[in-house]
Chains A and B, each alone.
Chain A
Amino acid sequence: MCEHIVKAEEPKLLPGDLAMWIFIFAELLVFGIAFIAYAITRAQNIDIFNQYQLTLNSEIGAANTLLLITASYFVVRAIHAIRLNNVKTCILWLYASLGCGTIFLLLKLLEYYDKFSHGINLSSNTFYMLYLSLTLFHFMHVILGMIILFAIVIKAQRGHYSAENYIGIETGASYWHMVDLVWIILFPLVYIIR
């Protein structure tokens, strides 16, 4: 009975593969430094940042936040489904998440097209350099997250996952949530806070 009590107090293991978590922590460190660099640079160039922040499309920024939050929610639903050994439902939720990710990328491309067609690029000014660098860096992470989710869907369709074995789905889900977590800070920092 004592042994049982001791086991109950043990902390849970990280969901998914530890190697992915090391990767996630490294990614978060890089994004963290970039966010702080943005905030410091803004403090030194307030007028430029306040002026050009108004040119950003906050509707697209908000819509993309809703999409990533919803995509994360769908991934959680997928994990809950696989825990019940419901593979088909799990696959459907993962596809729904990929759908949200695709719309995110399309909206972001629309936003970039608008900026680039107005002659805005990395060398336009300090604000645009940081805005484009941060969002493009995040954009690439969304693509990587979608590639990981797609690989998981393919494996799920081939019957690799079940209620007893779903560590691969947890690993991919953890990365996808990291992409969401970063955007949750990036959106107000770059688009909203003045």
Chain B
Amino acid sequence: MSIRYNIHTIWLAMLVLTLSTYIMGKLDFNGIIVTFILLLTVIIKAYFIINDYMELRGVSLLWRIIMFGWLWVICISIAITYIVSL
């Protein structure tokens, strides 16, 4: 890991992303674009956790497909239900 991308900067980035999620909720931002931004935030944080905290970077493709497949299926399903409910 580099000086800019390591477990410490990842932790800080996830804290910032969490605070941005909270602020968007507090300011009552809503709508499909906000939902997509929030889901993108979820995906970024989940990538950090799976790749760098769980240390699945570089493991067999099968395990990565299971983990990231799970993540994408959930996020896409949530996005579809929000689009349908508009």
Contact = CB atoms under 8 A, between A and B. Distances in A.
A135 to B, nearest CB: 16
6 contacts: A11-B59, A32-B70, A58-B25, A62-B19, A76-B53, A193-B78
B42 A185 contact: yes
Contacts of A106: none
Q: Is the interface of A mostly helix, strand, loop or mixed?
A: helix
A28 to B, nearest CB: 5
Q: Is the interface of B mostly helix, strand, loop or mixed?
A: helix
Contacts, number: 121
Given A43-B84, A185-B75, 16 more contacts: A11-B59, A14-B56, A40-B81, A43-B82, A43-B85, A65-B21, A66-B18, A72-B49, A73-B53, A174-B54, A177-B53, A177-B54, A181-B49, A187-B21, A188-B41, A193-B82
Interface in A163-186: 174, 177-178, 180-181, 184-185
Q: How large is the interface on B (under 10, 10 to 19, 20 to 34, 35 or more residues)?
A: 35 or more
Interface of A: 11-15, 21, 25, 28-29, 32, 35-36, 39-40, 42-43, 46, 58-59, 61-62, 65-66, 69-70, 72-73, 75-77, 80, 174, 177-178, 180-181, 184-185, 187-189, 191-194
B78 A39 contact: yes
A194 B86 CA distance: 11
A93 B49 CA distance: 18
Contact of A28 (B26, B60, B70): B70
Nearest to A194: B30
A75 B52 CA distance: 12
B14 A43 contact: no
Contacts of B30: 193-194
